[in-house]
């Protein structure tokens, strides 16, 4: 699963923005009114108020790592299966999933246990093929087509599995930094009495003793060097650092240590058999719902904890499907999650995840095309490695090497920013490439729901940009239900905000590069909800929009 942690190893000097109320919800703002490159959501609602249109119910499926079903802003928006009786241990609707009241968990066991962490797909592939290819002289002329493909993949993953001296040095540096931060934080907590302090709270604090003063200065300096946002609580910083170190330590030993088959221990399905699909449990939250809960809040269009549903808010429900562990997702779970969403009435599916290898790509490709046949729009995050996706594959991908076509119902979203929260309207992390990426949407320092009854906070990544677009799509499909999934995709692309001069280039922070928006995505601009609503109204009352899809070549 592609995540962007708040720790930047490669960039030692980072401009840290202090968040206030004016910037906390910058992603919903309007450029003309606020001079901020948001998506003009409130303007879109103001337009809808003048149209006199009655919205239709809309279900958006969120395929992710789990959604906190007790989060106060979200629990009232969760989809409820009308044909299932809660906790009666009976498959009332006969769909194969017992007690799937708010969705389903494909990462669970029948005993209620859950997969939390999973190995990277490249590690799984490496150890699956190790006995076949490692330290062996391979005559490719003697291989059949499938074996040649396996061998080519083997050579790729061997390169990626290398843990360089630079990687080892970075790991050692981060281990030292983490240990130092823990000690510094303990001194600060002893004086402040607040174990959840932030750099923003600490900055104006006047310590009494010399030790506390030195701890304060060291903490603020280290946070700046590591690129950690000033509003991140200390406990969250340490948790993220520990998670980062755990991942790097596993990567360092991944070639020697085969991953535990946690799936066989917990899920107990026959993974290679796609017809074995009725596994999992009803726990839509799981052990780590931070990412999915944040995503769900953005799908719902919840700006902050003081927001209340107004009369123009669409009758939106969120279907929670847990299929993405901490690590790389399994193709089978993703494919079945898509089919589950489609079969249970979702008209939009948000997928804020991805990986570099997809051994059972055909399963996912077929599910995406099943969604297309049922008029379901899939909104997918582009990923956070600063890859050119015209040159490097990331999966799921609209193009299918097996089916030999491109999925027209898939909208791929890169992450934009703004000077209110960053150095440019581009981000240093977002993947790009106009053959694959369709649009830009805000993805830097985005405020949304977090696990806990009333928790909210900031996260960054294309994972945040994708659900922002999913909300716009839901708004359109609710108010203009005659529009098809492909029409909604096309008009979202046609209605983007673009600079007055399309040739204007923008700095890519932390990279020696500048790019035009047309070099980032096919539409050459940032999603704009107000423009999309205006265009949707015209299209719904006249004729379908002309598709701006271009023929894909294999990437």
Q: Rounded to a whole number, what is the distance in angstroms from the first to the last CA of the chain? A: 21
Q: How confident is the model at residue 351 (pLDDT cuts 50, 70, 90)?
A: very high
Could you read off the pLDDT of 101-120 as tens digits, one per residue?
999 999 999 999 999 999 99
> Average model confidence (pLDDT) for the chain?
91
Answer whether residue 205 shows pLDDT above 70: yes
350: helix, strand or coil: strand
Q: How many CB atoms lie within 10 A of CB 262?
A: 17
The stretch 58-86 carries a mean pLDDT of 96
Answer whether residue 525 shows pLDDT above 60: yes
Q: How confident is the model at residue 555 (pLDDT cuts 50, 70, 90)?
A: very low
Tell me which fold the domain 26-117+272-541 belongs to. Answer: Rossmann fold (3.40.50)
**In the chain, where are the structural domains located?**
26-117+272-541, 121-161, 165-251
φ and ψ at 11, to 5 degrees? -120, 110
Return the higher-pLDDT residue of 523 and 232: 523
The stretch 210-216 carries a mean pLDDT of 92
342: helix, strand or coil: helix
Which of 67-81, 246-260, 467-481 shows the lowest per-residue confidence on average (mean pLDDT)? 246-260
b/e map 73-82, b = 16+ CB within 10 Å: bbeebbbebe
Could you read off the pLDDT of 482-502 as tens digits, one per residue?
999 999 999 999 999 999 999
Contacts 24+ apart (CB under 8 A), 51-57: 51/479, 51/537, 53/479, 53/480, 55/312, 55/314, 55/315, 55/478, 55/479, 56/315, 56/477, 56/478, 56/479, 56/481, 57/315, 57/316, 57/317, 57/478
Q: Of the candidates 361, 434, 365, which has an alpha carbon nearest to the alpha carbon of residue 405?
A: 365
pLDDT of residue 20: 53
User: Residues near 126 by Cβ (< 8 Å), separated by ≥ 6?
Assistant: 154, 157, 158, 161, 254, 255
pLDDT of residue 17: 33
Answer whether residue 334 shows pLDDT above 80: yes
The stretch 363-371 carries a mean pLDDT of 98
Query: Biggest alpha carbon distance in the chain?
Result: 75
Q: How confident is the model at residue 7 (pLDDT cuts 50, 70, 90)?
A: very low
Calculate the alpha carbon distances from 492 to 31, 324, 428, 470, 526 in Å.
Answer: 17, 27, 24, 10, 10
The stretch 335-354 carries a mean pLDDT of 98
pLDDT of residue 550: 44
pLDDT of residue 155: 95
The stretch 50-73 carries a mean pLDDT of 96
Return the higher-pLDDT residue of 544 and 168: 168
pLDDT of residue 252: 92
What angle, rounded to 10 degrees, do the helices at 165-192 and 210-226 form?
140
The stretch 261-283 carries a mean pLDDT of 97
Q: In this structure, are residues 294 and 67 in contact, taking their beta carbons and an 8 Å threshold? A: no
Answer whether residue 201 shows pLDDT above 70: yes
pLDDT of residue 553: 38
pLDDT of residue 225: 86
Q: How confident is the model at residue 421 (pLDDT cuts 50, 70, 90)?
A: very high
Q: How confident is the model at residue 547 (pLDDT cuts 50, 70, 90)?
A: low
pLDDT of residue 94: 96
Answer whether residue 1 shows pLDDT above 70: no
Could you read off the pLDDT of 404-420 as tens digits, one per residue?
999 999 999 999 999 99
Percentage with pLDDT > 70 across the chain: 92
- Give the C-alpha separation, 43 to 39, whole Å: 9
Q: How confident is the model at residue 19 (pLDDT cuts 50, 70, 90)?
A: very low
Which range, 145-149, 248-252, 289-293, is most confident? Answer: 289-293
The stretch 233-253 carries a mean pLDDT of 91
Q: In 193-303, which residue ranges form alpha helices assigned H by DSSP?
A: 199-202, 210-226, 234-252, 262-266, 290-300
């Amino acid at each position: 699963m592609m995540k962007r942690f708040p720790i930047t190893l490669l960039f030692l000097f980072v401009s840290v923005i202090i968040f206030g109320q004016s910037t906390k919800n910058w992603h919903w703002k309007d450029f003309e009114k606020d001079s901020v490159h948001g998506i003009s959501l409130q303007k879109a609602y103001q337009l809808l108020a003048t149209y006199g249109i009655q919205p239709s119910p809309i279900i958006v499926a969120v395929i992710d790592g789990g959604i906190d079903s007790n989060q106060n802003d979200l629990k009232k928006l969760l989809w409820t299966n009308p044909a299932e009786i809660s906790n009666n241990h009976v498959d009332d609707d006969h769909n194969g999933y017992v007690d799937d009241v708010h969705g389903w968990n494909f990462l669970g066991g029948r005993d209620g246990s859950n997969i939390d962490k999973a190995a990277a797909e490249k590690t799984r592939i490496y150890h699956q093929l190790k006995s076949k290819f490692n330290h062996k002289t391979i005559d490719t002329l003697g291989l059949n087509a499938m074996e040649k493909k396996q061998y080519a993949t083997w050579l790729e993953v061997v390169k990626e599995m290398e843990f360089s001296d630079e990687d080892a040095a970075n790991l050692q540096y981060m281990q030292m930094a983490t240990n130092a931060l823990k000690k510094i934080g303990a001194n600060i907590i002893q004086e402040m009495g607040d174990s959840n302090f932030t750099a923003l709270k600490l900055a104006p604090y006047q310590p009494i003793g010399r030790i506390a003063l030195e701890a304060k200065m060291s903490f603020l300096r280290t946070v700046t060097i590591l690129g950690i946002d000033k509003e991140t609580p200390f406990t969250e910083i340490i948790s993220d650092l520990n998670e980062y170190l755990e991942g790097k330590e596993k990567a360092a030993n991944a070639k020697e240590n085969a991953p535990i088959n946690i799936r066989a221990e917990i899920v107990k399905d026959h993974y290679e058999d796609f017809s074995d699909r009725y596994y999992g449990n009803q726990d839509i939250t799981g052990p780590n719902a931070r990412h999915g809960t944040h995503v769900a809040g953005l799908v719902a269009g919840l700006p902050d904890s003081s927001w209340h549903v107004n009369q123009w808010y669409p009758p939106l429900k969120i279907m929670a499907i847990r299929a993405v562990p901490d690590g790389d997702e399994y193709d089978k779970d993703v494919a079945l999650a898509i089919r589950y969403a489609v079969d249970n009435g979702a008209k939009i599916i948000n997928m804020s995840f991805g990986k570099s290898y997809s051994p059972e790509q055909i399963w996912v490709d077929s599910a995406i095309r099943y969604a297309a046949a049922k008029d379901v729009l899939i909104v997918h995050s582009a990923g956070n490695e600063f890859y050119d996706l015209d040159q490097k594959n990331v999966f799921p991908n609209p193009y299918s090497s097996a089916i030999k076509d491109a999925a027209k119902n898939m909208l791929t979203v890169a992450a934009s920013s703004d000077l209110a929260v960053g150095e440019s309207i581009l981000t240093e992390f977002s993947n790009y490439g106009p053959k694959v990426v369709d649009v830009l949407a805000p993805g830097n320092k985005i405020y949304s729901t977090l696990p806990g009854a009333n928790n909210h906070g900031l996260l960054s990544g294309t994972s945040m940009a994708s659900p922002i677009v999913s909300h716009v799509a839901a708004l359109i499909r609710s108010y203009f239900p005659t529009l098809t999934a492909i029409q909604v995709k096309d008009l979202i692309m046609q209605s983007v905000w673009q600079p007055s001069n399309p040739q204007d280039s923008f700095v890519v922070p932390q990279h020696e590069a500048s790019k035009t928006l047309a070099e980032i995505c096919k539409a050459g601009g940032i999603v704009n909800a107000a423009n999309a609503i205006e265009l949707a109204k015209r299209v719904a009352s006249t004729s379908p929009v002309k598709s701006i899809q271009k023929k894909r070549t294999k990437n």
